[in-house]
Chain A
Amino acid sequence: MIKVTLNKTLDAADGKMELDVSFQVLKGSLTTIYGESGAGKTSILRMLSGLLDPDKGHIEVNGNLWYDHSAGKKLPPQKRKIGYVFQDYALFPNMTVRENLSYALDKGQSPEIVDELLDIIELRNLETRKSDTLSGGQKQRVALARALVRKPDILLLDEPLSALDTSIRSKLQDYILKVHDKFELTTILVSHDLPEIFKMSDTILFLVNGKIEKSGPPSDIFLKNNISGKYRFTGTIIEKTKNDVVYIIGVLVDNNLIKVIATEEEGAFLEIGDKVLVVSKAFNPLIIKMEEQ
């Protein structure tokens, strides 16, 4: 169990912003911090890892006190058992893939974990490559593996997939889920990508201007009414055309553009750029078996 209370005044784009949050994360869960850019998502991760000092607060991880303002206690980043995947991956260009992982080993730690992780992320064949010769997706996998070498108490992922295109993204989400289960990690993910959140997280912390507006499972947060849809997708509206009495709404789901009909009343409230959920209730969906690729 991780118990966190944080308070800090941040310099935001439009003046000062007061970050004031308090939350708990269950051991073994995958929690997503969701919010617009500038809402304070990254700052929360930086305070958890000790890279940024809160003005006030309290951080307790599995019964160990990491930070307490009133008790004057502050563990340096080195002493917190954290795995952190940075937005820019922060791989060291002077080292090979294997050296990047080995560097993270603690004194006296057995190096077998490095081989195990190289196998899991399927980068054995690239282990002697210098890290700056890798593609974005490969770098991301190395960064993920490197963050796990020390068997951290918490894995922090700061929009780790935002720079990658959709097809690689989905594969990497699978890698993250795989290691999350295998190493029984407690993971906190920063993301503002709805499909990613639905796919990955148990719990959402919905952050607006430095405050947690709501928290709970993704379906509770993002669906106003609990619909029991037979199947559903999240996507973004990219076009909207009026056709007689109905609107035709183009929704981008992953890579596919789906056209959905909306009534005049519904269509009036939908704008291009809105994140939407497309639900179909059961009539008679076509099911076609796909060829194995």
Chain B
Amino acid sequence: MREDPVAELLHEAAVDDNVITMPDLTHGRLAELLQAAGGPPQDHELRGELAARTAFRSAVQSWPARRRLRMRRGPAVVAATTVATMLVATTSLAAASVLPGSAGRAVDGFLGSVGVDITPPSTPAAPPAPNVGGPSVVSAPALHATGSVHVGCTIGGTTASGGAAGTVESSSCVLPAPPTTRSHVPTAPAPAATHKAVVAAPKAVPVVHHAGTGSHSGPNGTPSTPPTTLPGGGTSRGGNQGAGGGKCQGGSTTTTTTTTTTTTDPTTTTTDPSTTGSGCGHGGHHHGASGGSTTTTTGGTGTTTS
């Protein structure tokens, strides 16, 4: 900001251009005149403010949306982006059991407070975490007629009755147990068996269950083929699992056999009813327990093992 434009101008005028003699800098009238010319705004000069505001509102509508919303690398944007990135990364690492024990527990605690259950795979019998989105859902895997373990998925906290044991029509979605428990099929409603889930997005994905039919709709309301299963032997619960917290949006039944973990693209959803051993066809991440879970295929990046 300029200190005193008049004084600056008078100082510059002291330059003798060899043609006109220097002005009398002590002459008060000249300084007064210049100060009056550059004086504070007057009322009649600010009369058009309302019209200017109206013009601004109209102009904003015509600005490109990206620019209108642009906050050029503001500190708040940087901070928010950093926090979001760290949250996703930490959650992914926690789900993959990569974090050290203390860090993993801290992450579990934090995510549990927001309704996301990520329990370590080594505790398959751990009690279900509080479900922010609704009642905890537990369902027992039913023995498939062929002998393979069939599990259903429960989504969004709703519990479907599912079919009789051995049927595939269960509409509850339970993450399969680790391979070590493969031969053991708990009959009692088990508490949440663990599953590794990664919530890629905090947004809840509403899913509609049609009990008994084994079908349910994905977030877009499109009915998907039932039943849905989640590898890993755990139980999905909570509401915010659309992007990989074990929420299924269709897909075929899963046969858990081996161990693999995969992360998938949370934005894509695929269903592959014809593929045995494929997991839930939803665009989320889910992982089996370490050391023995199956993977799921979703999006386009997952792998299927059977």
Do A and B pair up? The answer is no
